Amino acid sequence: MIEVGQTAPEFILPDQDDQPVSLSDRDGYAIVYFYPRANTPGCTTEACSFRNRWDAFNDRGVTVFGISDDPVSDLNSFAAEYDLPFHLLSDTDGAVSRAYGSHGEKNIYGNVVEGVFRNTFVVDPDGTIVLTYEGVNPEAHADEILTDLNSLENSWSSQTRNCIPVGHLETARWRSATVYLVSPGILRERGCWPRWRRLLDTYRVNSVRVSEDVIFYRCSVLNAPSQ
């Protein structure tokens, strides 16, 4: 099982509508959860826990990927029956599950079989694993992740005193820093957001979304102009 701090393996897999979906199809955090079999009691409970808390994840800009070795046809009926609003991905050969250390031998009712483990990984916008869960409780799992995301965000918020405003990058001598942009929604309303977006792209700044009101950026400011 891969660990916190490692880069999340990239993947492209067909979803329940047989459309290719990749890990890079996201702007913020991603939840990559592996489950053994569609339409079985534990996996249905887990999927419905994400469905029931979908608004909370969606409001945070979190993308959810559920991965199993089921064929697309089974995922399609599973998603339709339980009205699942997120991507269910078909990893029939187990390659992606193995890349995440979530596929192998397990004992089921005394029989040793190969299959997918019930593990979950939270990936930050930079593609780094920031949270891992092994052998999860299907019913409480979605709430568990939301609680841990809040803790992660609070940890970032505590670092504000060491930040500089993102606008100061234009004249700063910084080669690396943590910067912040307050109220991006207001900037969008005032038509200022494209300027900040271009600035961040120019400086190759990796963003970490913290809340509706504040975005923090862990920076590697390359070739920053000096005064």
Pairwise CA distance, residues 55 & 47, whole Å: 14
Q: Please name which of 105, 123, 114, 106 lies closest in space to residue 65, comparing C-alpha atoms.
A: 123
What are the tens digits of pLDDT across the range 154-182? 654 444 444 444 444 443 443 444 444 44
- pLDDT at residue 136, rounded to an integer: 87
What are the tens digits of pLDDT across the range 89-128? 999 999 999 999 999 887 767 777 888 999 999 998 878 8
- Look up 43 and say whether it is catalytic: yes
Taking the CB of residue 112, how many other CB atoms lie within 10 A of it? Answer: 8
Domain boundaries, the chain: 12-156, 160-218
Structural contact between residues 120 and 57, judged by C-beta atoms closer than 8 angstroms: no
Res. 78: pLDDT tops 80 = yes
For 152-162, b/e burial (b = at least 16 CB within 10 A) is bbeebeeeeee
CATH of domain 12-156: 3.40.30.10
Active-site residue, selected from the candidate residues 43, 163, 192, 219: 43
Q: Could you tell me which residues are beta bridge partners of residue 114?
A: 105
Q: What is the 3-state secondary structure (H, E, C) of the chain?
A: CCCCCCECCCCEEECCCCCEEECCCCCCCEEEEECCCCCCHHHHHHHHHHHHCHHHHHHCCCEEEEEECCCHHHHHHHHHHHCCCCEEEECCCCHHHHHCCCEEEEEECCEEEEEECCEEEEECCCCEEEEEEECCCCCCHHHHHHHHHHHHHHHHHCCHHHCEEHHHHHCCCCCCCEEEEECHHHHHHCCCHHHHHHHHHHCCCEEEECCCCEEEEECCCCCCCCC
Average pLDDT, the chain: 76
Pairwise CA distance, residues 180 & 68, whole Å: 38
